[in-house]
Amino acid sequence: MGGELSVKPVRAITWNDVGGREASLIQRCAARDEDACAELVSEHQRMVYQLSLNLLNDHNEALDLSQEVFLRVFRTIQTFRGHSSLRTWIYRIVINQARNRQRWWRRRHRSQQVSLDEHLRDHGDFPEQNDLESPDRMLGRKELADRIRVALDLLPFDQKTALVLREIDGLSYDEIGFSLGIAVGTVKSRLARAREALRSQLRDV
């Protein structure tokens, strides 16, 4: 992230802006309340795993990263000051941990791609389609999904992350800015570059 972290991403909100239940949950977790910690994991584990999977494209790595993320959450939750929603704060941790893992992979020259067969083996088939949909159309949708997955994996990590947060997770520009530690204007320009790069990759795949 480098110097980008020094850019103030979003307006800091106060504890009064954080919902009462969420504030209570955070404070209980900071006090090492085991029930509260279990509740936090239950509420956010699907989001953490899915984002990890979208960024790393590997089931086992996503599971490992999810565990690392929650360990990090509970080690640092006492520093949470309501500068974002709890969910957005956790997004930021996932992204930082995923970036670190990507760097670890690059140092060991590990492939960051996974085949469609491996993806289906780990995660099952794509969601069921309407029974009236023809097999040819279903195959076409699967092939398109695979092409998009391959094209995404060819993008630089920061561009891929911005696209995943916006197009898959539906985060606002402010939320993406906080998660990535960059200004909203940078978010928009990064997304524009990422979309153009993705279109170029799709033409070549």
Residue-wise pLDDT tens digits, 26-78: 999 999 999 999 999 999 999 999 999 999 989 999 999 999 999 999 999 99
pTM: 0.71
pLDDT greater at residue 23 or residue 116? 23
Q: In the chain, what's the furthest Cα-to-Cα distance? A: 56
**How do residues 83-103 score in pLDDT, each as one tens digit?**
888 999 999 999 999 999 887
